[in-house]
């Protein structure tokens, strides 16, 4: 691989679905941006972390993510499900029993997100101002 002038290493991957030649999050029209936007969302990143331990009901996820409203958590879990990161299973019972769990893709996303959460916790006090 040739590194272009300026030293930036290209971060492209060949597109396997035929939508375009290669993925590049720096390109305005790349569909990668939608996934990056989802994973960079605070509640999505925290929900993925909360589900790393296995399937959980909505209430358990909400209790873990202190401060999230039911509406925002519902929207977040739906977006994660639509993106293939979370599975939602409904068990026929009265009342309905619904569980959320990470898919294989979701477990893959959990790894770098876990590293990011750990970095934030370890380095926040080094920041000159709290964001």
The full DSSP string for the chain is: -PPPTTSPPP--EE-SSSSSSEE-TTSTT-THHHHHHHHTSHHHHHHHHHTTTS-EEHHHHHHHSTT--HHHHHHHHHHHHHTTSEEEEEE--SS-EEEEEE-HHHHHHHHHHHHHHHHHHHHGGGSSS--
Q: How many residues does the chain have?
A: 131
pLDDT tens, residue order, the chain (131 aa): 344 455 554 555 665 555 566 888 888 888 888 999 999 999 999 999 999 999 999 999 999 999 999 999 999 999 999 999 999 999 998 888 999 999 999 999 999 999 999 999 999 999 887 66
SS3 26: coil
Does the reported pTM lie above 0.85? no
User: Dihedrals φ, ψ of 116, to 5°?
Assistant: -65, -45
């Amino acid at each position: 691989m040739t590194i272009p002038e300026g030293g930036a290493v290209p971060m492209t991957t060949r597109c396997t679905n035929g939508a375009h030649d290669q993925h590049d999050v720096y390109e305005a029209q790349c569909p990668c941006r939608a996934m990056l936007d989802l994973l960079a969302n605070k509640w999505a990143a925290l929900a993925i972390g909360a589900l790393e331990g296995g399937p959980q009901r909505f209430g358990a996820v909400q209790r873990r993510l202190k401060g999230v409203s039911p509406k925002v958590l519902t929207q977040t879990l739906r977006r994660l499900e639509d993106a293939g990161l979370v599975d939602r299973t409904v068990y026929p019972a009265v009342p309905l029993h619904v569980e959320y769990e990470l898919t294989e893709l979701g477990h893959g996303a959990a790894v770098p997100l876990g590293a990011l959460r750990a970095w934030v916790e370890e380095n926040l006090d080094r920041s000159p101002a709290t964001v």
